[in-house]
Structure 1
């Protein structure tokens, strides 16, 4: 008799509370690629949804400055936006404008090269919130640390807050900055 009551109770429970199918969520696009994704999905999804074939070490917290410099090649100045920002030829996200020069003074602004701009832009594109990414410029001997923070929208653009720290050669400066993803695919300082 006891088993009969248990069977009826279980049947009634199952009818009243049917089991929902298991739902598996994809990892967030900024999550480091572990397991299946790392082995089978060769792309890294950026802040705005664009897929990148290389993260240049961003997900591990250390930008491979040399690889970024090689990917950017001889691209200089204003040509960065027109070449890097279009189609599949864009291998590295980059930040353009006078963000660094205006932020930390002319000397560092002059010393910042395209590889540094690439590391900064790619960190904004692929970096996880509150996870610092570092690199060293061997020419000016400065250590850079960029920590992407919260995102926001401005004028229809996706933007991010971030902290930038530079150390070395008598400099130890940390700034809170903002940048937005322009329509050409480059990151530009937020002017709000």
Structure 2
């Protein structure tokens, strides 16, 4: 059963993300987050429950990042990953949306799967429409030197 859960979940995500012709950033982020979360959940827990929990958490994180963070916010987040000292919070307010973000990056590490690729985790406290939301992200540097969210 567990060998069928991940392919079915991925097919479902792909099907949903292709509905309606134009996909919003939130929908795309939720789809990518669900798939990534399911893979991570399966890798950690090695059972259906862990896969579903990972998919649910990934969906929520992907939606928040994809829907609420515009280009300005993603540039600021990239700058935090690149320049901010570990453990020191960086904050900003988006002038267009009014959303505020406080991001606290952690020290860089090198994952076993990609020992030449630095990654950093960060805690994000986002205040969106007056409601505080806390989430965690991981970004790894790509071959062009840019930080890419891993969800």
Q: 1:102 to 1:118 in 2, by over 3 A?
A: farther
Deviation at 1:181, TM superposition (A): 0.6
Q: Distance in 2 between matches of 1:164 and 1:118?
A: 14
Q: Does 1:132 align with 2:92?
A: no
- In structure 1, the gaps of 5 or more residues are 1-96
Deviation at 1:123, TM superposition (A): 0.6
Q: 1:189 to 1:102 in 2, by over 3 A?
A: farther
Larger radius of gyration: 1
Q: Distance in 2 between matches of 1:151 and 1:105?
A: 22
Give TM-score scaled by structure 1 length: 0.43
Indicate the SS of the match to 1:157. Answer: coil
Give TM-score scaled by structure 2 length: 0.54
Q: 1:102 to 1:150 in 2, by over 3 A?
A: farther
Whether the 8 Å CA contact 1:159–1:181 is kept in 2: the answer is yes
Count of matched residue pairs: 95
Q: Distance in 2 between matches of 1:107 and 1:126?
A: 23
Match of 1:188 in 2: 148
- In structure 2, the gaps of 5 or more residues are 1-27, 34-57
Which of 92, 95, 117 pairs up with 1:157?
117
Deviation at 1:103, TM superposition (A): 4.8
The superposition leaves residues 140-165 of structure 1 with CA deviations (integer Å, 9 ceiling, x where unpaired) of 21101111112210202001111111
Q: 1:123 to 1:167 in 2, by over 3 A?
A: same
Which of 78, 85, 93 pairs up with 1:121?
78
Deviation at 1:167, TM superposition (A): 0.8
Q: Distance in 2 between matches of 1:102 and 1:149?
A: 23
Whether the 8 Å CA contact 1:148–1:160 is kept in 2: the answer is yes
Q: 1:148 to 1:116 in 2, by over 3 A?
A: same
The superposition leaves residues 105-153 of structure 1 with CA deviations (integer Å, 9 ceiling, x where unpaired) of 6466334221111100011000001000000012221101111112210
| 155-164 or 106-115, which deviates more | 106-115
Indicate the SS of the match to 2:96. Answer: coil
Would you identify which runs of 4 or more consecutive aligned residues in structure 1 move more than 6 Å? none
Q: Distance in 2 between matches of 1:122 and 1:179?
A: 12
